[in-house]
């Protein structure tokens, strides 16, 4: 019994001793947890100066080491040391390899558009290249110079046998009193080897102003007196080109950013178109290429390559290179037939022969391509020959019925069948009246 009590007493003593030891270790650990290390805030030790002098060669062999930064402490430092390692030595940071910048993306650049040359004269163009067969003269005001460059760019890409000659003057116009009178300039156009095959005219933007007649009377823009004075001047200009036997293309004035000015330009183009077509020339209206679907001025829009580009300059009047090329596109469509000779009448060398004229009363070129007045000597014999040929045909030509007045044969039931009663045969059923005097002395 005493033995068991002694064992219990011993066990209790051992337990108390263990608790005392554990308490001391916990108190020590708690104090160590919140106590910063001794090296916190202290710079790392460096070798003394004598040691550095003792081994100078070793220092030269090794790269100079940088001083380790001072160590900081926080209450969570044991956890940091537990998971990050209790290593007071500074970690070696591997230098980052320089990353090469990725190469810029390759952007496919469109090929440079050919830049055509605008020549000063037709002889210069033919001398510069033996391939030049056709010469186009662009004639007019400052916008004509832009059109000439656009046509030169188009010809350089599509038509090597054609060249462009530019003669443009600032402030030029058809109305009297302008800086450059185009009517007088048209009378001085070169002939012979310097003569162009086609003349392209672009002018009129400087004519939108009142006019003064020879008597000093003022005519306001687009009133009846103004239209009469301006039409006479422009008709004289076209007649000058017609007498020089030129193929002419007149280009309407392009729209501008100013809506009031654009409205005036539209009215001017209607007047020009009427006179140009009446004289047998070609009129080109390029307005649709520089306005949107609502008819408003368009600074940027689709170019001839299908891309959206800036077409007009900042002043709302001039053209960029893309705009000049688009303006030339409308003209180039009309020049194809004139330069290649396709779809033209046989008398296209003289534009006056292909249209009605007040001189040729027949309304077109007479037979045999002769330019003679109606009723001139020799016309009767030609008409008799033509009637004999037409008599052998079953039906006359429509041109003969229109030009010579040949009566077509009567068709039963048609409106020109005046036989009575309707359906009567060719031979009349009622005999003709006698030519002798009737009884009683009456005459038919």
- How confident is residue 427, by pLDDT bands cut at 50, 70 and 90? low
Q: Are 393 and 408 in contact (CB under 8 A)?
A: no
pLDDT at 354: 42
pLDDT recorded at residue 366:
41
- pLDDT over 90 percentage in the chain: 35
Region of poorest pLDDT, from 37-51, 85-99, 212-226: 37-51
Residue 194: band (very low, low, confident or very high) from pLDDT cuts 50, 70, 90: confident
Q: Of 65-69, 112-116, 270-274, 293-297, where does mean pLDDT reach its minimum?
A: 65-69
Query: Taking a C-beta distance cutoff of 8 angstroms, is the pair 391, 382 a contact?
Result: no
- Vertex 224, ends 187 and 295: CA angle to 5°? 85
Per-residue pLDDT, averaged over 194-212, amounts to: 92
The overall average pLDDT reported for the chain is 74
Q: Taking the CB of residue 254, how many other CB atoms lie within 10 A of it?
A: 28
pLDDT at 303: 92
Could you tell me which residues are beta bridge partners of residue 310?
300
Of 125-139, 236-250, 331-345, give the lowest mean pLDDT range: 331-345
Residue 302 in this model has a pLDDT that exceeds 70: yes
Average pLDDT over residues 34-50: 53
In which band, very low, low, confident or very high, does the pLDDT at 359 lie, cut at 50, 70 and 90?
A: very low
pLDDT at 82 exceeding the cut of 50: yes
> What domains can be seen in the chain, in order of their start residue?
118-342 (3.40.50.1110), 348-373 (no CATH)
- 47 torsion bin: left (phi>0), alpha (psi -120 to 50), beta (else): beta
Least confident of 188-202, 273-287, 353-367: 353-367
Concatenating the DSSP letter of every residue in 166-210 gives: EEE-TTEESSTTSSEEHHHHHTT---GGG--SEEEEE--GGG-S-
- Residue 393 has a pLDDT of 45
Q: Tokens 């070798």 belong to which residue?
A: 47
User: What confidence score (pLDDT) does residue 259 get?
Assistant: 94
Please tell me the predicted confidence (pLDDT) of residue 104. Answer: 73
């Amino acid at each position: 019994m005493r033995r068991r009590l002694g064992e219990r007493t011993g066990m209790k003593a051992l337990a108390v001793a263990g608790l005392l030891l554990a308490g001391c270790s916990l108190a020590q650990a708690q104090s160590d947890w919140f106590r910063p290390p001794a090296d916190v805030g202290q710079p790392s030790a460096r070798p003394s100066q004598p040691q550095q002098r003792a081994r100078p060669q070793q220092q030269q062999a090794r790269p100079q080491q940088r001083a380790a930064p001072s160590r900081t402490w926080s209450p969570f430092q044991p956890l940091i040391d537990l998971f990050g390692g209790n290593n007071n030595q500074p970690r070696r940071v591997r230098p980052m390899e320089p990353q090469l910048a990725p190469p810029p993306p390759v952007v496919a650049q469109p090929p440079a558009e050919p830049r055509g040359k605008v020549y000063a004269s037709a002889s210069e163009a033919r001398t510069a290249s033996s391939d030049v067969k056709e010469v186009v003269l662009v004639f007019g005001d400052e916008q004509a110079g832009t059109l000439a460059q656009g046509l030169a760019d188009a010809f350089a890409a599509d038509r090597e046998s054609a060249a462009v000659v530019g003669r443009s003057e600032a402030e030029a116009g058809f109305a009297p009193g302008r800086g450059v009178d185009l009517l007088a300039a048209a009378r001085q156009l070169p002939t012979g080897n310097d003569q162009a095959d086609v003349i392209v005219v672009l002018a009129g933007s400087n004519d939108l102003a009142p006019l003064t007649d020879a008597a000093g009377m003022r005519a306001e823009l687009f009133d009846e007196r103004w239209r009469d004075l301006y039409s006479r001047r422009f008709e004289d200009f076209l007649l000058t080109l017609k007498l020089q036997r030129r193929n002419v293309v007149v280009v309407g004035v392009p729209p501008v950013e100013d809506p009031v000015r654009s409205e005036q330009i539209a009215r001017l183009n209607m007047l020009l178109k009427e006179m140009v077509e009446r004289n047998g020339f070609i009129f080109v209206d390029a307005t649709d290429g520089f306005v949107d679907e609502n008819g408003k001025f368009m600074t940027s829009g689709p170019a001839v390559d299908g891309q959206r580009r800036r077409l007009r300059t900042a002043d709302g009047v001039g053209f960029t290179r893309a705009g000049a090329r688009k303006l030339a596109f409308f003209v180039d469509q009309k020049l194809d037939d004139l330069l290649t000779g396709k779809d033209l009448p046989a008398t296209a060398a003289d534009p006056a022969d292909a249209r009605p004229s007040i001189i040729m009363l027949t309304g077109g070129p007479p037979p045999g391509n002769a330019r003679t007045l109606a009723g001139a000597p020799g016309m009767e014999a030609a008409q008799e020959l033509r009637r004999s040929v037409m008599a052998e045909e079953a039906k006359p030509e429509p041109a003969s019925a229109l030009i010579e007045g040949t009566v077509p044969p009567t068709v039963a039931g048609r409106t020109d069948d005046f036989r009575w009663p309707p359906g009567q045969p060719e031979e009349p059923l009622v005999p003709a009246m006698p030519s002798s005097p009737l009884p009683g002395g009456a005459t038919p």
